[in-house]
Amino acid sequence: MKFEDYRIHDGIKTSISKLGYKKPTDIQYKSIPPILKGEDVLAIAQTGTGKTAAFVIPILHILQDRKIDKRPDGVKCLVMAPTHELALQIESIFYQLGRHLSITSFCIHGGVDQEPQIQQLDKGIDVLIATPGRMFDLHSQGALNLNRVEILVLDEADHMLDLGFIKDINDLMRFLPKKRQILFFSATINDKIKKLAYSLVTNAIRIQLSPKDPVAKNIDHAVAYIEMDDKRFFLESLLKNNEDKKILVFVRTKVRAERVKKAMKRVRIPTNTIHSDILQEERELCMLDFSRGDLKVLIATDVSARGIDFENVDYVINYDLPETSENYVHRVGRTGRGNQKGKAISFCSTEEKELLTEVEKNLGKPIYKLDISKKDYQITLDFSESKTDDWRSLLDEANKQEVIRKKKKRKKKKR
């Protein structure tokens, strides 16, 4: 079935055609019809399979149809997302697919001045994409009215639960009309999500794709056993051997992200970081640089992984193995998107072997082990530019000490 065969507004079909899409992905094919019928949907599919468009396309059609009937003003669709980056990405897709319609969409999130957001809400919008914190702030101030919401979307529902938003989601239901359509979308599912989903929805249509293989098949996975203190040398080697590639490096904490950035700076490899301590303006500029290819290496934390959606990411490097196997799925899902090939390489230290076992268990298969001989391992350490710099600094220090020693010797002779 092609998109042109769907009974959706011509404006949406025009946008789809301009974007170069012809056939729906599996998740789109299975999700669009029940959403158009007004059904509640719980959809689980791999990252990079087109989940966002799977709900954006039918929502735009539904709202455009109802807009023709001159329904009352106010936010009609609320999309909740766990991170700034993901919220902005969803807003972008609503804009791209809805540019030939009269539907207005807008994104609100923290980290920026709320006054311009309040002014935009006052003008009236149809679709609101929001992170929980800023949404509740504006609602408590009376700047946001949710009593006309007809469709609620929880995107990356598993991550919102991980971040502790379950109480916020339950509280949100008190502000929404009793009659509403609810859509859950996520790359992974567990008992907590099932419990939450079925407590909120009515006879939901459950759609689950590739449950035995949570990541896309066009991603090649590999792992190298590298001790924690040596990882920077191997990252340096990998980056220098792939200077023309677009590479995402994932670490466990924002402190680690900054340390890796400094380590790469010492060996003259330009990188940048994205994590919760980075100002929103800087985050957006950093992502734009990476998207355009001006920046080739971006270092990120797991929180950021949910909102990073770039084309042509060649490698995902797990500098640190993630603490949960679900986070591995989201990390590696940043590459190999659509029909493109991608590579995911993980550095596993002795203390991370249990985490690797969990990841492999979730994948349902072992990850290919890169065979690094003791000789090659040592060569990688010895040929690091930072090691060269260390020798230079030692020589410089030795030369300085020699100059000082000679000066003292001359002074003694004068006496």
In a domain, 399, yes or no: no
User: How far is 70 from 65, CA to CA, in rounded Å?
Assistant: 9
Examine the domain organization and report whether 299 and 161 are in the same domain: no
More confident residue, 310 or 413: 310
Query: Of 218, 216, 201, 217, whose CA–CA distance to 43 is shortest?
Result: 201
Side chain identity at 241, as an amino acid letter?
A: N
Give yes or no for a contact between 246 and 312, defined as CB atoms under 8 angstroms apart.
yes
Can you tell me the mean pLDDT for 313-341?
86
Examine the domain organization and report whether 141 and 227 are in the same domain: no
How high is the pLDDT of residue 13?
A: 93
* pLDDT confidence tier of residue 175, bands split at 50, 70 and 90: confident
In a domain, 185, yes or no: yes
User: How far is 82 from 105, CA to CA, in rounded Å?
Assistant: 18
* pLDDT confidence tier of residue 174, bands split at 50, 70 and 90: confident
The overall average pLDDT reported for the chain is: 85
Q: What CATH number corresponds to the domain at position 224?
A: 3.40.50.300
Examine the domain organization and report whether 191 and 240 are in the same domain: no
Those residues whose C-beta lies under 8 Å from the C-beta of residue 51, and which sit 6 or more positions away, are 27, 43, 45, 155, 185, 187
Phi, psi of 154, rounded to the nearest 5 degrees: -110, 105
> Two tokens at 351?
């203390």
Overall domain count for the chain: 2
User: How far is 156 from 175, CA to CA, in rounded Å?
Assistant: 21
Q: Does position 69 have pLDDT exceeding 60, yes or no?
A: no
Query: Of 65, 59, 24, 30, whose CA–CA distance to 44 is shortest?
Result: 30
Query: Of 338, 341, 328, 330, whose CA–CA distance to 245 is shortest?
Result: 341
How high is the pLDDT of residue 310?
A: 75
In a domain, 232, yes or no: yes
Can you tell me the mean pLDDT for 331-355?
89
Give yes or no for a contact between 251 and 297, defined as CB atoms under 8 angstroms apart.
no
Beta strands in 85-242 (DSSP E): 105-108, 127-130, 151-155, 181-186, 205-208, 219-225
**Domain of 364, in residue numbers:** 219-383
Examine the domain organization and report whether 122 and 100 are in the same domain: yes
pTM of the model: 0.69
How high is the pLDDT of residue 59?
A: 97
In a domain, 239, yes or no: yes
